[in-house]
Structure 1
Amino acid sequence: MHLPSTRTLQAFVATARLGSLAAASASVAMSVPALSRRLAGLERELGVRLLERVPRGVVLTSAGDDYLAHAVAVLDRLQAAAAELKRDAAVVRVTTIPAFATRWLLPRLPAFSARHPGIEVDVRTSIAFERLDDGQYDFAIRLALDHEMATDPLLPIHLLPVWSAAHPRAITCPEDVLRHQLLGPDHRPEFWQEWLRGVELEGQAARPRAIDALLLYEQTLSGAGVAIGIEPLISGLLRDGRLHALTAHRQRSARSFFLVGPAETRSRAARLFRAWLWSEAQG
């Protein structure tokens, strides 16, 4: 037995509910003769009478009443599935570390939303490198060593000391930095080590105070000390003049931010977000 098409089920449900071929034909945008043929074909395929013609329209038989419940359930489930797919296709799920989300990604998202108002970007933060193969996320933006990754970095990292614009003492060379309290992200002590090595001060006694990564630059702005600046996370603060930096001695880190995702993105929304993200990173 051939399964009826959704169009046929819609025609039957409309006729059963409205009790009139004329009213049902208008509801499903089908002529009365075409509707009659569909209903007759459905009854012939099932081998039972679903509808009885009466002077004022049509009424359901007992078999038709039973079949109506199944037809409605099928159409409802198909409609719910289509709505869920449409909703999912318009959502891009991204996981990244908190500092990247707050300092770089979230300030830029309004521009993406203005360009693509029908797409929602759901950003979740985590220090752990979340798996992507279970379909929970479309992309991960993660910090990694360049030599461990097989793809080009989304955003290379440069390191440089930064301090509050209200800092009372001048800092003009790398040696000056060591005269101040050094601040660094608590989970990334290697950043200060990288910079000191790059400016040939690795052997100096430097003991950075570990600060929660989300609060590092707030502490720096308050005048607590000199932090290791991570470009691109500090770009906005430098541009606004809230932080000053030893820009002549910026050092390229061995780490970068990488965009990680499946080889083929699952939706048009994800493809649009990926293209926009690369454009933002390169611009």
Structure 2
Amino acid sequence: MFGQLPSLRSIRTFESAARLGSFKEAALELHVSPTAVSHQIRTLEGQLQVKLFERHTRAVVLTADGEKLARVAHQMLRALSDTLNEITHRDAPLTIGTTTAFAAMWLVPHLSEFRSAHPNIDIQVKADDQPVDITTQHQVDLVIRYGIMPDDDPDASLLFRESLQCYAAPAYWQSLLRPAASPASILCTRWKNPALPPVHDQQRLRNLFPNQQPITVREFEEENQIIQAALAGQGIALVSQLLVETPLANGWLVSAPQEPAVSAAAHPFSGLDYYLKIPDRSRTNPAVCQFADWLGRKLSSYQSQSVSDQK
């Protein structure tokens, strides 16, 4: 019945090269030489009498037939892997794409809780501030994105709608209350991702401290850089409460005190959304379902607490 099918080895080699868009990267993933990958692909093309890749000087690009086979090959290998994990009582590995700040400041510190509940799930976090295209990068099972969640995307679901507030080291707040204090320094984000809309402007930042004029504004490319600068006593971080959960819990950073000089800064204003995207190919992956359920419950509880604290 299946006598005319190519070998599993050749299909796996093809799937890796198609997913990564590179014979060299596929060779690294499969622990073979690029020459071996090229030979497997040529053998597969010869067996099928179909051209699967267009070879260019520094890149390979799937043909239309190659794209069809790549989709089926990935689905087949995923189904085979899931079934093997099921019958051997191992959970499937899980690769999560998200932003650098969310990975470092929230996700990684909380992953021990998920791992304790699901010790057999091998979690890998792929942190990048440029959005991962999960339609082509099949090695990523789901992504946690930051921005304005599109209403017309059926794969997207809201996780957390942040509010931005001002946080600083306790000693820094006290320094602003002294006579002849130095101008306040506000630390905010200049997004590396051009698709993210700005959440503040210079005048709005200055309005946070009407009794502290002039003020200085320092911009950073990443939110975790802002938090580190605030921890070092360099200024006031304008950032989501979600990302400063640990510094707040330990008292390393605190919100603005209710003092006339800084009272306006105590009021939060809206930021952007954290939302989840799960492609169709991942929706039957048990590890994806378990992680999405845990993450949704975790952030929903945190959102409720955050709203309650602001009342």
TM bin, normalised by shorter chain, reads 0.5 to 0.7
Structure 1 residues 226 and 149: CA distance shift in structure 2, 3 A? farther
**Superposition pairs for residues 243-254 of structure 1, below 5 Å?**
243-246=253-256, 248-253=266-271
Which amino acid is the alignment partner of residue 222 of structure 1?
A
Structure 1 residue 153: deviation in Å?
Answer: 2.0
Aligned residue in 2 for 1:28: none
Aligned residue in 1 for 2:204: 196
Structure 1 residues 92 and 195: CA distance shift in structure 2, 3 A? farther
Aligned residue in 2 for 1:98: 100
Q: Whose Rg is larger?
A: 1
Structure 1 residue 128: deviation in Å?
Answer: 1.0
Which amino acid is the alignment partner of residue 184 of structure 2?
H
**Superposition pairs for residues 73-152 of structure 1, below 5 Å?**
86=85, 90-134=92-136, 135-146=138-149, 150=153, 151-152=156-157
Which amino acid is the alignment partner of residue 141 of structure 1?
I
Q: May I ask how many residue pairs the two structures share in their alignment?
A: 201
2:202 and 2:276 map into 1 onto residues whose CA distance is: 23
Which amino acid is the alignment partner of residue 97 of structure 1?
T
2:151 and 2:240 map into 1 onto residues whose CA distance is: 20
Which amino acid is the alignment partner of residue 244 of structure 2?
I
Answer whether contact 1:97 1:141 (CA < 8 A) is retained: yes
1:238 and 2:248 matched: yes
Aligned residue in 2 for 1:270: 288
**Structure 2 unaligned residues grouped into runs of 5+:** 4-76, 257-264, 302-311
Moved more, 148-157 or 109-118: 148-157
1:55-74 superposed Cα distances (whole Å, 9 cap, x missing partner): xxxxxxxxxxxxxxxxxxxx
1:144-182 superposed Cα distances (whole Å, 9 cap, x missing partner): 12466645421111101111122263669xxxxx94111
Aligned residue in 2 for 1:258: 275
Structure 1 residues 234 and 180: CA distance shift in structure 2, 3 A? same
Structure 1 residue 239: deviation in Å?
Answer: 2.0
CA RMSD between the two structures: 3.7
Which amino acid is the alignment partner of residue 191 of structure 2?
H
Give the alignment partner of residue 171 of structure 2, picking from 160, 166, 170.
166
1:121 and 1:225 map into 2 onto residues whose CA distance is: 35
Aligned residue in 2 for 1:184: 188
Answer whether contact 1:221 1:242 (CA < 8 A) is retained: yes
Which amino acid is the alignment partner of residue 229 of structure 2?
Q
Moved more, 192-201 or 86-95: 192-201
TM-score (norm 2): 0.55
